[in-house]
Amino acid sequence: MDIEEFRKRGYEAIDRICKYYKELDSVKVLPEVKPGYLKKLLPKHAPEEAEPWEDIQADFESTILPGVTHWQSPNFFAFYPANSSFPAIIADMFSDMINCVGFNWICSPACTELETIVLDWVNRLIGLDDGYLSDGEGGGVIQGTASEAVLVVMLAARQRVIDEYKKRGYTEEGIATKLIAYGSDQAHSSIEKASMIVNCKFKAIPSDDKFCLRGSSVRSVMEKDIEEGLIPFFITATIGTTSSAAIDYIDEIACTLEGTSVWLHIDAAYAGAALVCPEYQYLLKGVDRSQSFNFNMHKWLLTNFDCSCLWVRKRSHLLNALSLTPAFLRNIASDSGLVIDYRDWQIPLGRRFRSLKIWFVLRAFGANGLREHIRKSIKLAQRFEEELSKYPNYFAITTKPAFSLVCFHLKVQKNTNMASNELTTALYNSINNSRELYVTQTKLGSQNVIRFVVGSPWTTEQHVVDGVRKIVNFTEAIIEDAELTIE
């Protein structure tokens, strides 16, 4: 494909993207395919000779698109959102045009410097404290995902505690086997996965009856573990848990940790986006005593995946854990110490030019545009609850709208012998099997619940109202079936 053919095919691709978003509303959010569908449609080998672009494009239409789950659909209410936006798509096109691998400054100065600058912008926008800005000892970095973010800070925390204990005369082996990391029982699975990777112990501390982690629970678990000879070194507190968007008592936890060498990491993967609205920034109370803070712009802030923003209070902690400088990476700029080499802030060496999309998104929407998007989603979640509450015989709201998430479950229905959990799971399956709405199921305590999250910029009030209508219909069908069974 030469430059002129790329121009033609590129225009066609732009048109295809326009068509995709125009038709998004009329396409079912979940595909109809069964596992293994694609293998039957594609050949077993790559072609020997180049194929005409028309064939590739046609196969994309006929084999790939029918197997896609439409995360941008206005009827996508599952997991948490993963917003795309047109400014971010264009930024990614430019990133692909340049296709630099910016592992150190000289590999593309603009790539490194823009990242530092826009992460300072986002810091100020969401009301993080100045200790996380790049002009002090801290700074921000783009990670692929929150999982990678928590892994790198856990590594930094491990190195910090090992260095500290070594100074006190302990051996590295003696420390390594005693390290323990914590999260609440609502913390994201990535915390436990990171513990598996760094090979330390992990304990899920029970949350309270609202699924929030309290300082007192942290204290009692930690004290017991210390008595047993363990070394607590890391804890994640969450703003907006995965299951119910609960908010841990960060201020309490920070107080509990005072005087210890436990690293406090804040996981605001989803809800961090809401901090662009000043009315949510009170949630940051206590965050000024955390060592790291992470949220995913690629979730609910109109920035295409992947773009997970991580700030650390002391960048030297990351470098101590992750820096290695072999000869082939030595260069004058890096040796001078004047520049940031982000390769030492992450697991991979190579990295894409992702700051471009943050820059484009912040400028194309402006802070107010982003706030409008967040507030609209939150309002629609409240509207969802309002609609659902019109059927108090069917539905119980498990957790009130938290940001843009509502959790609900089905009440036990007389004339059926199905338990609430069974009914809820049946409804969950009915909804997703229809392919018209996509929701996720989770467990809160012993209760099966359905999570309904608003987030797509294409979702309107009508989608929410229609969604509730469908949910009511599915519910009635389930109850009817269950009644028939009992008769």
Instruction: Pick out residues in 177-236 that bind a second copy (CB under 8 A).
Output: 177, 189-190, 192-193, 196-199
Residues 475, 108: Cα–Cα separation, whole Å = 56
Establish if 42 lies at the interface with a second copy (CB under 8 A).
Answer: yes
CB-side neighbour CA atoms (13 Å) of 140 = 30
| Positions in 142-161 near a second copy (CB under 8 A) | 144-148, 151, 155, 158
Q: Classify residue 171 by burial, with Cβ atoms within 10 Å: 0-12, 13-18, 19+.
A: exposed
Identify which of residues 109 and 219 has a Cβ nearer to a second copy in the complex. Answer: 109
Establish if 166 lies at the interface with a second copy (CB under 8 A).
Answer: no
| Positions in 264-293 near a second copy (CB under 8 A) | none
Binder to a second copy among 27, 230, 277, 364 (CB under 8 A)? 364
Identify which of residues 67 and 392 has a Cβ nearer to a second copy in the complex. Answer: 67
The contact pattern for a second copy, residues 450-479, with x = CB under 8 A and - = no contact, is -x----------------------------
Residues 355, 115: Cα–Cα separation, whole Å = 5
Q: Classify residue 45 by burial, with Cβ atoms within 10 Å: 0-12, 13-18, 19+.
A: exposed
Question: Of 6, 20, 18, nearest to 60 (Cα)?
Answer: 20
Shortest CB 139 distance to a second copy, Å = 13
Identify which of residues 214 and 371 has a Cβ nearer to a second copy in the complex. Answer: 371
Segment near a second copy (CB under 8 A); pick from 284-292, 355-363, 375-383, 462-470: 355-363
Q: Taking a C-beta distance cutoff of 8 angstroms, is the pair 409, 396 a contact? A: yes
Shortest CB 25 distance to a second copy, Å = 12
Shortest CB 457 distance to a second copy, Å = 11
Segment near a second copy (CB under 8 A); pick from 114-122, 285-293, 461-469, 470-478: 114-122
Shortest CB 322 distance to a second copy, Å = 7
Binder to a second copy among 54, 55, 223, 335 (CB under 8 A)? 55
By CB under 8 A, how many residues form the interface with a second copy? 145
Establish if 356 lies at the interface with a second copy (CB under 8 A).
Answer: yes
Who contacts 237 (Cβ-Cβ below 8 Å, separation ≥6)? 184, 213, 248, 249, 250, 253, 264, 265, 266, 267, 290
Identify which of residues 215 and 455 has a Cβ nearer to a second copy in the complex. Answer: 455
Residues 185, 439: Cα–Cα separation, whole Å = 22
Shortest CB 365 distance to a second copy, Å = 6
Q: What are the structure tokens assigned to 2, written together?
A: 């030469």
Cα radius of gyration (the chain): 25
Q: What amino acid is encoded at 325 in this protein?
A: T
Q: Taking a C-beta distance cutoff of 8 angstroms, is the pair 320, 263 a contact? A: no
Residues 140, 119: Cα–Cα separation, whole Å = 5
Establish if 377 lies at the interface with a second copy (CB under 8 A).
Answer: no
Q: What are the structure tokens assigned to 374, written together?
A: 């967040």
| Positions in 394-453 near a second copy (CB under 8 A) | 429, 440-443, 451
Residues 80, 403: Cα–Cα separation, whole Å = 11
Shortest CB 227 distance to a second copy, Å = 19
Who contacts 401 (Cβ-Cβ below 8 Å, separation ≥6)? 378, 381, 382, 384, 385
Binder to a second copy among 229, 259, 336, 446 (CB under 8 A)? 336
Q: How far is CA 258 from CA 81, 219, 253, 265, 485, in A?
A: 35, 11, 9, 14, 59
User: For residues 66-83, b (16+ Cβ closer than 10 Å) or e, as one string?
Assistant: eeeebbbbbbbbbbbbbb
| Positions in 6-25 near a second copy (CB under 8 A) | 6-7, 9-11, 13-18, 20-22
| Positions in 305-334 near a second copy (CB under 8 A) | 305-306, 321-322, 324, 326-330, 332-333
| Positions in 57-96 near a second copy (CB under 8 A) | 60, 63-72, 79, 82-90, 92-94, 96
Who contacts 343 (Cβ-Cβ below 8 Å, separation ≥6)? 103, 104, 329, 349, 351
| End-to-end CA gap in the chain | 67
Establish if 259 lies at the interface with a second copy (CB under 8 A).
Answer: no
Binder to a second copy among 234, 280, 360, 395 (CB under 8 A)? 360
Shortest CB 8 distance to a second copy, Å = 9
Segment near a second copy (CB under 8 A); pick from 232-240, 362-370, 412-420, 466-474: 362-370
Identify which of residues 46 and 282 has a Cβ nearer to a second copy in the complex. Answer: 46
Identify which of residues 185 and 483 has a Cβ nearer to a second copy in the complex. Answer: 185
**Helix segments in 62-214, DSSP class H:** 86-98, 109-126, 146-167, 172-176, 189-198
